[in-house]
Amino acid sequence: MTSAGGAAPTNFIREIIQADLEAGRYDRVVTRFPPEPNGYLHIGHAKSICLNFGLAEAFGGRCNLRMDDTNPSKEDAEYERAIREDVRWLGFDWGEQVYYASDYFEQLYAWAVQLIRDGKAYVDDLSADEIRAYRGTLTEPGRESPYRDRPVAENLELFERMRSGEFPDGAKVLRARIDMASGNLNLRDPVMYRILHATHHRTGDRWCIYPMYDFAHGQSDAIEGVTHSVCTLEFEDHRPLYDWFCKALGIHHPRQIEFARLNLSYTVMSKRKLLQLVEEGRVAGWDDPRMPTISGLRRRGYTPEAIREFCARIGVAKKDSTVDLALLEHCLREDLNRRAPRRMAVLRPLKVVIENYPEGQTETFDAVNNPEDPSAGTRPVPFSRELYLERDDFMEDPPKKFFRLAPGREVRLRYAYFIRCVGVVKDADGRVVELRCTYDPATRGGDAPDGRKVKATLHWVSAAHAVEAEVRLYDRLFSHPNPDRAGEGSFLDHLNPDSLEVLRGCRLEPCLAGARAGDRVQFERLGYFCADPDTADGRPVFNRTVTLRDAWAKLRKKGG
């Protein structure tokens, strides 16, 4: 992973790989990213993607994209397509071939037969609950299954019959014959194959037995010549089993290395919980901009550069911790500040009539596209007698520290003139519906020739030229920083009821009429926004990507 500041920083995994190369253990680095196509990838997967592809790039090797498609009951071709799209969008290339664990089913079966012949695997008739009970606990050894000492010939016959579909789901399993007294529960005769009469999205109905992850993963790595199998910490206790299978089969033996997974505040990372949010209609889908999925972040307006920078900054650790969501938002703001063009938009319009401005007259002002990028130039913004201001920028009876527009007060309109409020129009319910103002022609461009000052500069949009739009204001999906561990109850109890506010009748400056899905802009004073795929010709829909206020930068200044 390389940060915007230059070369990628070293970490303990890079040091291990470097030592392996120098010792001649491997002559070329091969890593892999092996997602299961049972859901959409999320920001935690982005860390793994950046790490695995980044390691391969740093050492001049390759990283395989491999679908861990060994559970047909939960997997789908839709998820596979989404995974490919997300990895490419993040900026990584897996080469000419996508790998699939399902392509290795025949070889995995042959290896299972080899272990049976060697007396290292057996067919077990215990139920799943019985296997669990026989396994023992962390303080008590397990008990051997009564079927553990079946003759090799009988095991071979039963395993072949399992493959041919003679038995119902759950009737039998194939287990490795290791050590029921091992202090590592994963070595207490783990299940290698289970019976599952389900149609696979790639192999159809050719198989009714499917390998478990622990049996398929290491062998898939071996088939592909993977040198370093980089996993998250929950697989640390599985490493002895990974090593046992490779050694027992006498095949290429990759090195498994574990690192801390990404935990992000105000977020859940479990695919099961994310699927629950989708299936229960708590969100609009996997790509809902409130979701931590890569597709959701993309729809919200995140850039791949910002996500890669975030992954580089959090680094690679050996101990689990939770990263503040504010850091991810900080990386995004830094990136968008450099690239996003500035535009004016009024989200809650309040009409303003400039009484001394000529009726029917229009003039234009040159507005800066991006003060961080002088090459971005300027754009013309029309100005007329009737404007829209933000409703929050006016108060009829303002408190002491409110410096925006109020009766009798003068403010600056961005790029344009000073205006003064001289009247307020209300409806029958007493609600302010229109302001009457005057302007000072001598302040064109935003400065008064007599040197008088104003305390506020407001954005605006010409009413005659404005484009009507829908704007969706997204906030954090959860109101608790750790919804998974927020006391008793469900993580659903901590859903933020204000995570989405939809505003209709917003007014944008006219150049946004042609906005296309994916266009990112900064609405001045309001935040960064992205045109949603729901955008149609002349009817833009914008999602708020992130506000302008940077909590992470503020925290760092305080030394936090």
Q: Where are the domains of the chain?
A: 12-264, 345-466, 470-560
pLDDT in tens, 401-431: 999 999 999 999 999 999 999 999 999 999 9
Mean pLDDT of 465-471: 97
556 or 444, higher pLDDT: 444
Res. 488 pLDDT band, cuts 50 70 90: confident
Residue tagged active-site, from 32, 271, 308, 507: 271
Residue tagged active-site, from 14, 32, 36, 409: 36
* Residue 492 confidence (pLDDT) above 90: yes
Sign of CA dihedral 485, 487, 488, 494: negative
- 345-466: CATH superfamily: Ribosomal Protein L25; Chain P (2.40.240.10)
pTM: 0.93
| Model pLDDT, residue 556 | 62
d(CA 253, CA 21): 15
Report the percent of the chain where pLDDT is more than 70.
96
Query: Helix, strand, coil: what percent of the chain each, to 5?
Result: 30, 25, 45
d(CA 45, CA 85): 13
| Model pLDDT, residue 6 | 46
Res. 547 pLDDT band, cuts 50 70 90: very high
| Model pLDDT, residue 557 | 63
Which amino acid, 340?
Answer: A
- 470-560: CATH superfamily: Ribosomal Protein L25; Chain P (2.40.240.10)
d(CA 274, CA 406): 46
- Annotated active-site residue 36? The verdict is yes
* Residue 444 confidence (pLDDT) above 70: yes
d(CA 228, CA 216): 16
| Model pLDDT, residue 1 | 52
Domain 12-264 has CATH 3.40.50.620: yes
Torsion of CA 109, 113, 119, 124, to 10 degrees: 60
pLDDT in tens, 316-356: 999 988 999 999 999 999 999 999 999 999 999 999 999 99
Q: Per the structure block, which two tokens stand in for 366?
A: 């040159």
| Model pLDDT, residue 102 | 98
Res. 8 pLDDT band, cuts 50 70 90: low
Mean residue pLDDT of the chain comes to 95
pLDDT in tens, 272-329: 999 999 999 999 999 999 999 999 999 999 999 999 999 999 999 999 889 999 999 9
CB 328 within 8 A of CB 43: yes
CB 108 within 8 A of CB 203: no
Report the percent of the chain where pLDDT is more than 90.
93
Mean pLDDT of 246-274: 96
Res. 5 pLDDT band, cuts 50 70 90: very low
* Residue 560 confidence (pLDDT) above 70: no
- Annotated active-site residue 318? The verdict is no
Instruction: Beginning with the edge strand found earlier in the chain, give each strand of the sheet holding 62-67 in spatial order.
Output: 30-33, 62-67, 99-100
Q: Could you give the C-alpha distances from 425 to 116, 241, 436, 465, in angstroms and in order?
A: 87, 76, 8, 23
Residue tagged active-site, from 188, 255, 261, 544: 261
Three-state SS across 113-142? HHHHHCCCEEEECCCHHHHHHHCCCCCCCC
| Model pLDDT, residue 4 | 47
* Domains 12-264 and 345-466 fall in the same CATH topology: no
| Model pLDDT, residue 553 | 60
d(CA 549, CA 531): 21
Torsion of CA 456, 460, 463, 465, to 10 degrees: 150
Which amino acid, 38?
Answer: N
- Annotated active-site residue 554? The verdict is no
| Model pLDDT, residue 485 | 81
pLDDT in tens, 79-112: 999 999 999 999 999 999 999 999 999 999 999 9
